[in-house]
Amino acid sequence: MVTQTLKQLAKFVPSGSRLALPVDYAGVSMAMVGPILESGARDLHLVCVPAGGLQADILIGAGRVRSVETSAMTLGEAGGAPCFSRAVKSGAIKLRDATCPAIHAGLLAAQKGTPFQPIRGLIGSDVLRHRPDWKVIQNPFSDTGDKIVVVPAIIPDVALFHAPLADAHGNVWVGRRKELAAMAYAAKSTIVTAERIVEHDLFGDEDLTAGLIPAIYIDAIAEAPGGARPYGLWGHYATETDALMRYAELAKTEDGFARYLDETYGQAFVA
């Protein structure tokens, strides 16, 4: 069954999963944070596409994350991500520092079924020095010295995001947010929360087809109006900056973070 509840969607994220999450402006499924915490999933390996924020910070603060691959971690106008910063400093999580192009390149390789994707711009950087899984090779099509970096395919076990619209057949409309399609095409499974699920086939609407992810790439959808809040969702509602500011203030301390979890989700859920 494609259409499910939030609690059923959480079963797609077992302990140890490599979980792909989108950047804050591209449809973050905040509605799934509580169900994932309640499910007990832990030792998650987060892939932020290409940067992380509130959703990742909460999962980290709750002790559910083992590693994070990201180009940045930020709460935007609210500043840095406090739980992430504490976890990196204490060694509670392993950080796989990346760049935006490198993460997108890894997902592209996964989509195409290739072991790696070549990119430029990393040679000589500190990021490359700390990523032994990124290799520098000679361009095989050049007769002169031409070094390029190859980034291994990033294959998430699960991709999770929030979309404005989906249908009961499993098709999901993401409009211009093509990074969401990239996540779905690269991942082994994709789960989506949506503002609205309609019964009719969205592929019947010529104006929507260019922005659709076909049902073949979607494993389950749950309807969750307002499911990106306090983040915004394009065309629907704006980011609630005050809510992010309050989280940033509370999460400065572990006690404050526990209070936030209790107020927001009804339980502490800290591992």
Summarised one tens digit per residue, pLDDT across range 165-180 is 999 999 999 999 999 9
- Judge whether residue 269 has pLDDT over 90: no
Q: Distance (Å, rounded) from C-alpha 170 to C-alpha 154?
A: 24
Domain residue limits, the chain? 6-99+154-265, 118-152
Write down the residue that tokens 């619209």 correspond to.
165
| Encoded tokens for 114 | 């290739």
Q: Distance (Å, rounded) from C-alpha 8 to C-alpha 2?
A: 11
- Judge whether residue 270 has pLDDT over 90: no
What would you report as the CA-atom Rg of the chain, rounded to the nearest whole angstrom? 19
Over residues 240-251, the pLDDT tens digits come to 999 999 999 999
Q: Specify the pLDDT at position 2.
A: 83
- Judge whether residue 67 has pLDDT over 70: yes
Residue 267 vs residue 104, higher pLDDT:
104
Over residues 189-206, the pLDDT tens digits come to 999 999 999 999 999 999
Q: Average pLDDT for residues 25-38, to the nearest whole number?
A: 97
Q: Using alpha carbons only, what angle is made at residue 163 by residues 162 and 169, rounded to the nearest 5 degrees? A: 115
Over residues 104-134, the pLDDT tens digits come to 999 999 999 999 999 998 999 999 999 999 9
- Judge whether residue 135 has pLDDT over 80: yes
Q: Specify the pLDDT at position 129.
A: 93
> 119 pairs with which residues across the strands?
149
Q: Specify the pLDDT at position 96.
A: 97
Q: Distance (Å, rounded) from C-alpha 115 to C-alpha 105?
A: 11
Q: Average pLDDT for residues 33-60, to the nearest whole number?
A: 97
Fold entry, domain 6-99+154-265? Glutaconate Coenzyme A-transferase (3.40.1080)
pLDDT-based confidence at residue 231 (cuts at 50, 70, 90): very high
Q: Specify the pLDDT at position 266.
A: 85
- Judge whether residue 271 has pLDDT over 90: no
Q: Specify the pLDDT at position 268.
A: 57
The CB-side HSE value for 171 (13 A sphere, CA atoms) comes to 18
- Judge whether residue 1 has pLDDT over 80: no
Buried residues in 247-270 as b, exposed as e (16+ CB within 10 A): bbebbeeeeebbebbeebbeeebe
Q: Specify the pLDDT at position 29.
A: 98
Q: Average pLDDT for residues 212-216, to the nearest whole number?
A: 97
Q: Specify the pLDDT at position 76.
A: 95
